[in-house]
Amino acid sequence: MVWWWWIAPAIVAVAGLALLFRGLAALFRGRFVGGLAGGVCGGALIAAALIAGLIGLDVQTYDRLTYERPVATIETRQLGPQYFEATVMQPGHGESAPGTSNLYPLHGDEWRLEAQLLKWKPWANVLGLDTQYRLDRLSGRYRSVDQEINATRSVHPLAGGDALPGLPWKISAWDTARKHRRYVDAVDTLYGGGAYMPMADGARYEVWLTQSGLVARPVNEAARAASAGGWTEVD
């Protein structure tokens, strides 16, 4: 939250109220010119503070509803035809939960990262509650449905996210929402979500958590070339 969006209008509003009351007091004493001037200036300051406060609320709402945070960075290295090695790097959460980096062999054309998600309602986002996640698995994915059914599969369990040890308040929020969902009006839904992208030699992607789910973005030329134009086949 940008606190000055609220502090500055509050100061202006207090000054406006002070001028308004002084103007009203002057009117009661018969000082009509000074009273009217004070009342007009006070009213104008209050109106300006109200407008600034509304702008601040709009900025905070936009900032909260579009808030994103990093989940993982994934790098892929090709070892053979439709066979890759994926490096998954997770950000740290302070000294109690340092960042991690692990290697996973993947068969297929694309990697897929899946997680369990706890999504709050928009008004709860505005008040400061962010979507929470628990990483679930990393798998390889074939573009061809026939290969997906018959070819070699690869899937690896993942751990990490807001349920990491050392973050008891987040664990409590997650578990409370799951156990008492019907009584917690701030919870929108608990669901499983995922993101997948094409694998390529030397490709690097970042996975982010938005207030509505996971999103993956290419961050180097190899990844951008692999994902250019979506997954349209190019001869």
pLDDT digits (tens, 9 = 90+) for 33-57: 666 666 667 667 667 666 665 566 5
What length does the chain have? 235
Residue with tokens 């990491």: 164
Q: What is the mean pLDDT of residues 140-162?
A: 92
Q: Please state the rounded mean pLDDT for residues 186-204.
A: 91
User: For the packed helices 32-65 and 4-28, what is the interaxial angle rounded to 10 degrees?
Assistant: 160
69 has pLDDT over 70: yes
Please name the helix (run of DSSP H) or strand (run of DSSP E) that holds residue 146, with its range, or none: helix 145-150
Residue 160 has what DSSP assignment? -
Both tokens assigned to 200: 């390529």
- Listed range (59-73, 139-153, 205-219) with the worst mean pLDDT: 59-73
Q: Tell me the per-residue pLDDT of 5-15, one tens digit each, with 9 for 90 and over.
A: 556 666 656 66
- The Cα–Cα gap between 173 and 80 comes to 44
The pLDDT value given to residue 16: 62
Smallest Cα–Cα separation from 136: which of 87, 84, 194?
194
| Structural tokens at position 116 | 């369990």
Alpha helices by DSSP H, listed for 29-86, are: 32-65
Average pLDDT for the chain = 79
Tokens of 176: 């409370």
Residue 84's nearest CA partner among 226, 189, 229 is 226
Which candidate, 3, 129, 112, 138, places its Cα nearest to that of 69? 129
Specify the pLDDT at position 231. Answer: 55
Per-residue pLDDT reduced to its tens digit, 71-125: 999 999 999 999 999 999 998 765 556 678 899 999 999 999 999 998 888 888 8
Instruction: Tell me what pLDDT residue 28 has.
Output: 67
- Give me the percent of the chain exceeding a pLDDT of 90: 40
Q: Are 105 and 79 in contact, with CB atoms under 8 Å apart?
A: yes
CB-based burial label for 174 (10 Å; 0-12, 13-18, 19+): buried
Predicted TM-score (pTM) of the model is 0.71
Contact (CB, 8 A) for 190 and 112: no
How far is Cα of residue 33 from the mean position of the Cα atoms in its chain?
A: 54
234: pLDDT confidence band, cut at 50, 70 and 90? very low
Beta carbons within 10 angstroms of residue 80's beta carbon: 7
Q: Reduce the DSSP state of residue 231 to 3 states and report it.
A: coil
**Per-residue confidence (pLDDT) for residue 64, from 0 to 100:** 75
Q: Which of 108, 81, 19, 71 is closest to 208 using CA atoms?
A: 71
pLDDT of residue 164: 44
| Residue 171, pLDDT above cutoff 50 | no
